[in-house]
Amino acid sequence: MAVHSPTSGPCRSIVVSKLVAPATRRSLENMSRRSGVDLFFSSTLSSAELTDRAAVAVVVPVPHAEDEVMEMVHRIRELAPTILLCGVIDVPDQSLWLFAERNGFNLVSSAGGIGAALSRRLAADDLGVREPIAVLNSSDIAGRLGLLGEFEVEGCSVALWRGGGRLGCLENRCTHSGAKLSEGEVEDGVVTCPRHGSRFDIVSGERVRGPADSDVKHFDVFEREGRVWIVPEP
């Protein structure tokens, strides 16, 4: 089944947590002056601030504990499922950086680099709002693990899995051989290509093992109001 999201107008602002470090604030303010995108500094990150202002992105400090990262992602996704969630790490921690990227943050950066990184991402997205598409009822997949379904989202064949306590959605094509990843096995949140054994993280699409030498395109996915939603590429 082919599904398409509606066309949306441009977004106008970026919501920034007041808890960000001064270096983050300066980097974002420089980006704002160059791009003309408004910044709104918030102490609450409420639903009204994230939605009524037509915000394209929200910038928050990445918590230092993994369970707090998951809690942050869940909270923001409940309030604004399609917003670009950007995290800033104030201390060098590669494992935390990768954990945040694999578990719901769309963009992770250092404090001084967030302005440039976000500017590049917004340019690539063309400031478009990505409307989510409902593909399944949550009740239909309750308790299920592994492959949950195959779908066509705006011309791209995708596969949806649950594994390692996470939902993941990837383009249904191995970057090495072109084989359908939906026919592979999933273990601990990693899918194995059925043809040559390349392995990919089901959430981030990151290559875990070759012979593939590049990642698989990933799509944001979440559950809300009893349904499973996939967010198309802008």
Give the pLDDT confidence score for residue 131 in this predicted structure: 67
Distance CA 176, CA 169 (A): 18
CA distance 14 to 123: 14
Question: Is 100 in the same domain as 155?
Answer: no
The CATH number that applies at residue 110 is: 3.40.50.2300
112 and 158 belong to one structural domain: no
Note the pLDDT of residue 96. 87
Does position 58 have pLDDT exceeding 90, yes or no?
yes
- Residues 106, 35 share a domain: yes
Same domain, 14 and 121: yes
Flag whether 63 is in a domain. Answer: yes
Residue indicated by tokens 């791009």: 35
What is the count of structural domains for the chain? 2
Q: Which domain holds residue 182?
A: 133-231
Contact 41, 18 (CB under 8 A): yes
Query: What is the mean pLDDT of the segment spanning 43-55?
Result: 82
Rounded to whole angstroms, the Cα distance separating 54 from 129 reads 9
How does residue 61 score in pLDDT terms, banded at 50, 70 and 90? very high
Q: What is the pLDDT of residue 104?
A: 80
User: Bridge-partner residues for 145, per DSSP?
Assistant: none
Tell me, yes or no, whether 3 lies in a domain.
no
Domain match, 163 and 114 both:
no
Sheet strands side by side (includes 133-137) = 2-3, 146-153, 156-163, 166-171, 218-224, 227-231, 133-137
- For the stretch 124-166, pLDDT in tens is 665 455 667 888 888 889 889 999 999 888 778 999 999 888 8
